Each structure stands twice: as C-alpha cells, then as structure tokens.
Amino acid sequence: MSKVIIYTDGACKGNPGLGGYGAILMYNEHKKEIKGAIPDTTNNKMELTAVIEALKQIKFECSIDIYTDSQYVQRGMTEWIAGWKKKNWNKVKNIELWQELDSLASTHKVTWNWVKAHNGDPLNERADELANIAIEEYLAK
C-alpha cells in the first residue's frame, strides 16, 4: 500500500473571522502544497477543512500519516468519533465537516498524529504559513 504523509493547519483572523487552511502532501519524491481561505468561519472549521481538502487530493487508497497541531482534529478522529456515531451525531458541532472527514478518511488507513504548534517542526510551520498566506491573498483581492 502506498504511503502518504500530510501536514495540515488552519488559521483564523478573529474567531469567528476570516480563515485560512494549508496542507503539505508528500508521496515518494513528490510534494504538493495546498491552501485556501473562507470568510466568516472559525479556527476549528479551518483545522477540519485543512485535512478534508488534503484528503480530497488523494485519488487512490493508501496508508496516510496525518500530522496536525489541532487536538480537536486528532482527538476527534481517534477518541470522540465512535461515540458521536453511536449517538447519531447528536449535538456535534461542525457535524457536516466531521461527517465529510470521516467519509474521506474511511477509504484509507489513516494514522492521526498531534504535533505541538509553533515548536520548530518545519512542516507544521510551513502548513501554518500556507494558511496565513491564504488569508493574506484573500484580503488582497
């Protein structure tokens, strides 16, 4: 099974406010960076969106290591999601994003890794930079 490594991050200027996401996908010697911005959103939505948009880039079943500095995303997918499903997603915030993420992740073998934000991990720092660049580019329009 092919192996993909993904680093993601979300950012928000105000919460709610203008948000951005960034992700780096690595497969063998290939590396792809993606970014985007959404007005009137929250930081948690941007953290989820970063992973969703990254997973949308992958067109074949593979083993994926996802690195996020969001405990909300990491713990949501490793600890909380089974309970949410058991309770029919009752009272889950950002339900549409969680359901989309769950659907996308279910087609792969995903390992969810948490990394401390702004702690010198170059790929985490780059994902953060991409999210903030997306916000700046949106504001420059």
Catalytic residue among 19, 22, 69, 108: 69
Residue with token string 């880039």: 57
The answer for residues whose C-beta is within 8 angstroms of residue 106's C-beta and 6 or more apart is none
Establish whether 36 is a catalytic residue: no
Residue 118: active-site member: yes
d(CA 38, CA 46): 8
Catalytic residue list contains 47: yes
Q: Per the residue annotation, which of 9, 20, 76, 108 is the catalytic one?
A: 9
Contact 64, 58 (CB under 8 A): yes
Give the active site residue among 10, 19, 20, 22. 10
**DSSP 8-class letter at 134:** H
How far apart are alpha carbons 2 and 15 in whole angstroms?
Answer: 37
20 catalytic? Reply is: no
Candidate list 29, 30, 118, 120, residue with the active-site label: 118
Q: Is position 10 annotated as part of the catalytic site?
A: yes
Which of 19, 36, 108, 128 is labelled catalytic? 128
- State yes or no: is 76 an active-site residue: no
- Burial pattern 48-87, b for ≥16 Cβ within 10 A else e, equals bbbbbbbbeebeeeeebebbbbbebbbebbeeebeebeee
- Among 19, 20, 36, 47, the active-site one is 47
Show which residues are catalytic. Answer: 9-10, 47, 69, 118, 128
